[in-house]
Amino acid sequence: MENTYKSKQYGGRSNLSRLLLLLFLAGLQPVLSSDGETPGLDGDDDDDDQEAVKISCTIVGPDYVTVGVPSSVECFSNCLMMKTACSYSMSLDGQIAKGQGNVLAFTVNNWVEELTVTCTVTVEDTGLTATTTKQLQVLAGPVNVSITGPDLMNPSVSHTYSCHAYCRPSCIYAWKTDKGPWIGGQGNVISVTPLEMDNSKMLICKATNSVSGLFDTATRNIAVASGPSDVQIKGPDVIEIAKKYKFVCTAECLPSCRYVSSVDSQTVRGNMIEIAVDYPLQSVTLRCEAQNIASRRTTTAVKTVQIAGSDRNLSTRPEATLAVLLLAFIISGAFTLM
């Protein structure tokens, strides 16, 4: 009997060692009681297991939120593993948000540096609680994107433009000219030199929040000064003695041109004159100078007007060489030539 008893005793210890080895290989680390027994293997009830597990919770969601953009975070706990009912209470910087369960949805209306989200989970049966917090960085923008710079460009001249936007913490900028590619790395400033054939340049600035990647754009269509071109003196090619005739100087200019008109050696400011000849002459010469008010470029047109009846013998009238009576009136477009 004694040998048989010892055989059972040693056999029992051997079986227990094998069980502990299997548990260890499976990644479990059971704790032995003082009498060498393994707790939890003899059918302990679920209440004891729940009391042995500590309740915990965590907040899942973005690390930043943007002013004006709806956001949400969610709180998770180990209540499901404990097989017990839990209730949640969530707050945003101390403002309790009830009735939303474990989800907190909100929209930040004003920029602050950061917000604190707090979640408290409570086991309904035992009253055990756990609390955790999460810091959210608050971003803003880009909003109010604008481009500042000259309203008019001159050909072959460099012009500087800057882009501004409200951003928190900061914005990065990229530029696009007409149908060209986006160009970055120049900060919020760009220099543009239009070509002679350009009538306008379209500038597009894109401001991008350096953290969120949200972006907005601003566009400006800027005129390029052109002309004067196609300068003409409009009026009759032949005039009669003792009659008034009107002549108008025109040119294609952007933004506009100022004019100086002259007949022979007499000059008036403006693009319109009236003349009358008292005595027969072979011809008179009209001249118009058009100057772009922005680029200061100047172009001149010349028109020779014949006098009807100028084939008569003028030698009997020695004073005829001075017999041109100029009636010059500034009708419109009177500018001071700079």
DSSP state letters, 255-273: S-EEEEEEETTEEEESSEE
Mean pLDDT lowest for which of 52-66, 167-181, 196-210?
52-66
* Model pLDDT for residues 103-152, shown as the tens digit of each residue: 999 999 999 999 999 999 999 988 999 999 999 999 999 999 999 999 99
Whose tokens are 């754009």? That residue is: 217
Instruction: Look up residue 69 and give its DSSP letter.
Output: S
**For residue 99, what pLDDT is reported?**
52
Cα separation, 133 vs 137, whole angstroms: 13
**For residue 147, what pLDDT is reported?**
98
Q: Which residues contact 7 (CB under 8 A, 6 or more apart)?
A: none
Specify the pTM: 0.66
* Model pLDDT for residues 266-308, shown as the tens digit of each residue: 899 999 999 998 888 889 999 999 999 999 999 999 999 999 8
* Model pLDDT for residues 7-31, shown as the tens digit of each residue: 233 343 334 334 333 433 344 333 3
Count CB-CB contacts under 10 A for residue 142: 27
Q: Are 117 and 64 in contact (CB under 8 A)?
A: no
**For residue 98, what pLDDT is reported?**
57
Which domains, ranges and CATH numbers included, belong to the chain? 57-140 (2.60.40.10), 142-226 (2.60.40.10), 227-308 (2.60.40.10)
Mean pLDDT of the residues in the chain: 80
* Percent of the chain topping pLDDT 70: 75
142: amino acid identity, one letter: P
